[in-house]
Each structure stands twice: as C-alpha cells, then as structure tokens.
Amino acid sequence: MPPFQYQFKSLNHLGLVAAMCRELKIAEYIDARITNDSDVRNVSIGQAVVAMIINGLGFSGQTLYMFPDFYEDKPIDRLIGEGIQADHLNDKILGRALDSLYDAGVSDLYLHLAIKVVNHLKLPCKALNLDGTSFHVDGDYNSNDDPDDLKCIHICRGYSRDHRPDLNQVVLQLMTENEAGIPVFMAPASGNVNDKTCFQEIIKKHLSCFRAALNSHYLVADAAMYVAETLQLLDDQKQRFISRVPLNIKDAKQLVGKAPAVSLKPVEGYEDYYFAQVPSTYGDVQQRWFLFLNKKRRQSEQKTLIRKMEKQSLKEARDLEKLRKKAFLCEDDAFQAFALWQKQSKLCQSGSEPEVIRKPCYSGKGRPPSDSKPDHFEYFVHGVCFVACEKKEHAQASLGYFILSTNELDQNRLHAGELLSTYKSQQQVEGGFRFLKSPDFLVSSLYLKKPERIESLLMVMTLCLMVYAAIQHRIRHELKKQSRVFPNQKKKPCQNPTARWVFFCFQGINVLTVNNQEQHVVGLKEKQLTIIQILGISYESVYS
C-alpha cells in the first residue's frame, strides 16, 4: 500500500475575507463592468482584484511581484477559484488588472459597487463622512510635467499629513457611511491638491448621485468643508450638512473669546459636554452654530498648555541670559538687540526698561594703570523678564471649546446631542485612514511605476477597507441578532469585537490535503466556529 501524501495550506482568517468578497459579489461586478482583455487569461480581472484584496487583508505588506510567494501556501481554490495557481498571480497579470480598472474609471466603478454593498447590508446611511489623506510615493514620476496636461493624478510634493514634506505623495479623498464605516466613494487626487478644492469638486460632481442612491440626510466633514462657496453649493442642492467651524473665522473667534461668559446647558447623553446655540448666516447660508465645551478635554489641554508655556518661557529667559552676556559696539545696538528679543518673545515681558552697562576694554595684559585710557568700550544690556498672568488666562480661556454648524434649522429633527453624535461619526473615515496607513496593510508607501496604476491600487486599498468594515459590521450585527457572544482580549464575552481581533483569533487554521484529493480543514476551535456559524452557509462552505 503506497504511503499517504499530506499537504498543509494556511487558511486562517483569509476564508472570512474570501467569503465576504463572494457575498458582496466583487469579482462578478468587476467582470461584468470590464471586458476580459484576453481569452486565454487564467485569472479574470475580478478574480485578480479579489486576490489583491485577500493579500491586502492578509497583513503581509508584500508588493505585487511578491504575490506568487504569498499564495504559495494558501488554498487558492477555496479563496479565489478552481484551477488558479500561485504563479498565475504574477505582477504582469495584476498590473494589467490595475490598468483595466484605471481605463474603466476607478471612482465611478467603485461608487456603483459601494452603493450595491450599502443596500445589500441594509445600512440606514443617515450621514456621509468626507475627509482626505495623503500617501507617500517612492520614485520619480511626472514631477517635471505640467499637471494640466495629465489625464491621471500628478504625483508631487504637497501638504503631508504624515509630516514628511520631503517625499512625493498622492491624496485619497474618502467618503464613508456613518454606521459601519463602509467607504461609499473614493477619489485619487494629485499630491498638491487642497482639501477645500477637492471637497467642492466632489459636491459638484457626485453629491446628487449619493442622495438619489443612498438617501442620506447629512454630509459631515471637518473644517476644510466650511468655506463660503462650498456651503452655498450645499444649500443650493438642499443638502443638509454638519461641519466643524474653523476658529480663524472672525465670528467664530469672537464667539469663543466670550465663551466663558456664555450660559451653557448640558448635552443630553454626554456627561462632560455643554453647549450654547446661536444663529449664523456665514456664507449667506442660514444655519445654527453650536458652541460646545468638553470639560474633560479642557482639563487635559490645560495640563498640556502649562507644560508648553513653562518650556517656552524658560527658553525665552535663557535667550535673555545669553543676550546679557553678548558684547555690543554701541549703546544703540544693545537696545535694538533687546527690542528684538522682546518682539520675538511670545510669553516673557520686560519688567522695566533695560539697562545698558558700558565696560572699558584695554589692549595690554594685566591690570591697566589708573591713568590709562581704554582702547574702546563694550556695551552689555541687562533686563528682567516675567510672564504676565493675563497671558496665561487668555491662553486658557478658549481651551476645550469648539463650534459645530448645521443648516438643519428644525430643532426637533436635530438637537445638540444628536448633532454631536453625528459629527463624532467622522471618526469612521479617520479610522479608515489609520487602517489604510497601518504598517501591516499592503505597503506603507506606494512603489508602482505608473501613476495610472497607483490610482487603481488606491481603489483596491479602499476595497480592502470596504471588505474589512463589512466583515466587522456583519459579525457585530449577527452576534446581537442571535444573542451570541465572542471572547474579547480579556477573555470576557462581548458582542462588538473588531475584525482585526477576530482575524487574530483565526490563526492556526489549515487545509489538509491527502493524496491530492481529500481535503480537511483542521485547527478549528469553538470560538472560531461561533463566527463561522453566525455568518452563514457561504462562510461555512469555505471552512468545511
């Protein structure tokens, strides 16, 4: 009797990712929208995209040419499809798939898929959250070309959210629904674009499509959206918005300045928040401003401010001490140096008029004779500094205050507590950016050679975020619906685990193949079976 032949393939959490891709019909949607570029292609464009999503959510951080290595020990037939081998998923196949995505228009292609996903998951989509971020790009692309002559994005330096202004970058504009954090819109942009300009373009070109398809009530964004022209665009389209008001606006600055004297009421449902409501017509748009005070945040900011002020005042005092030891050739130079120190000092003030001391200088060594005349004089400036209490009080006055604005004038439809909770859903899109920038996700910076492919890869990255958010939403929803629990990191039962924690708990699951025919999934434990069972038959089939 011939010996048995055994082969292990690593499945782990990738089965959840593959099953969600099938549930959302990502491959079918892409293949229906994009014609296959070859009759002899082993992997369809939709399957190639799913392969990139599985790799991205495998948290391996591998580039395109490393894909065959990633899939070498994976059960590809279960994850992607029958007949596909690891060497089929090479950089040429995947690169052509990215080219096809670009030719189809990544933003439009993604938008219609996202609408299907939101409707499939039956999300209420009460609000949409809009924001942008940047990604580093390595290599020299089109930095010497005229960006107006390019059909694709222009890769160049710009304002870096990661504090790396020395690197070229590309910008991703993202819009998510506010319950599960599903990205419903993505738009690559050139590295030097301004969020204010991008937001206006998105509102002009795409907002009506969102409203018709998703019936969302509010558009939520940070202070970059609060521009007079943008507010007028929103009001013309009868779109309700919630936005943070930048404090460099004159009216906002005045409101925060007199905030300590304003009577505030507690926000229902929020222990540390208080608010006052005032009308506004900024940008010729009727709206309500809500002045909020977060007392807990105020206490934290006060401690930080005191540390910063102490550090700054000590530096300015040391600068004055250095100035005291510096010799000047004339009295006027000494006074001018002191005046310059006073001008540059943000906190320290002079306690009195500075005193200039004249010191004689002699050319010879030793003590000069009593009747000798000095060769020249050196002048030293002395002064006393202090920090005025008024400066500290003025700096602390606005701590913990912020202003939110909305053009929803009906107080019954949107009160202070609901306004605040809806704005806090902005954390969904910000959390999405943190996910995309995770060192374990795809690549921390982009290495592709063609700007067109970078646009397409940004779409694939957003699809990864969509699948991740959809898995997390389905797990949490089904746990609550079926009254079941999953152990958290402290081994206590919970109904809202993160998908990342669930993925971690799925380690050690393998597919055992015997004699290249019989397959068995091994390594399944009770907590893993809980997740598989609540998600349904399609997930059970991957792990059976």
Task: Please check the confidence at residue 73 and state whether its pLDDT lies above 70.
Answer: yes
293, HSE (Cβ side, Cα atoms, 13 Å): 23
Tokens of 213: 């398809």
Could you report the per-residue pLDDT of 390-401, keeping only the tens digit for each? 777 777 878 889
pLDDT at 148: 45
Query: How far apart are alpha carbons 320 and 358 in whole angstroms?
Result: 18
Q: What is the DSSP string of 327-356?
A: -BSSHHHHHHHHHHHHHH-SSEEESS--EE
Q: Is residue 150 pLDDT above 80, yes or no?
A: no
Q: Are 81 and 63 within 8 A, CB to CB? A: no
In the chain, % of residues over pLDDT 70: 92
Nearest in space to 423 (alpha carbons), one of 150, 93, 126: 126
Q: What is the pLDDT of residue 451?
A: 81
Q: What distance lies between CA 167 and its chain's CA centroid?
A: 18
64/462: higher pLDDT: 462
Cβ within 8 Å of residue 142, ≥6 positions away: 150, 154, 155, 156, 451
Rounded average pLDDT over 17-32: 95
How many residues are present in the chain? Answer: 544
Query: Mind listing the pLDDT tens digit for each residue in 165-219?
Result: 777 888 888 888 888 889 999 988 887 788 888 888 888 888 877 777 787 889 9
Q: Reply yes or no on whether the pLDDT at 161 is more than 80.
A: no
Strand partners, 137: 446
Span 135-155, average pLDDT: 59
pLDDT confidence of 151, banded at 50, 70, 90?
A: low
Q: Which of 49, 52, 58 is nearest to 14 (CA)?
A: 58
- pTM recorded for the entire structure: 0.81
Three-state SS for 3?
Answer: coil
Is the pLDDT at 28 greater than 90? The verdict is yes
- DSSP codes of every residue in 419-475: HHHHHHTHHHHHHHHHHHT-TTSS-SSB--S-HHHHHHHHHHHHHHHHHHHHHHHHH
Mean pLDDT of the chain: 85
Residue holding tokens 């608010």? 275
DSSP of 36-96: -S-TT-SS-HHHHHHHHHHHHTTT----GGGHHHHHTTS-HHHHT-TT--GGGS-HHHHHH
- Taking alpha carbons only, the member of 52, 28, 21, 47 closest to residue 456 is 52
* 314 neighbors 385 (Cβ within 8 angstroms): no
Query: Is 161 within 8 Å of 132 (Cβ atoms)?
Result: no
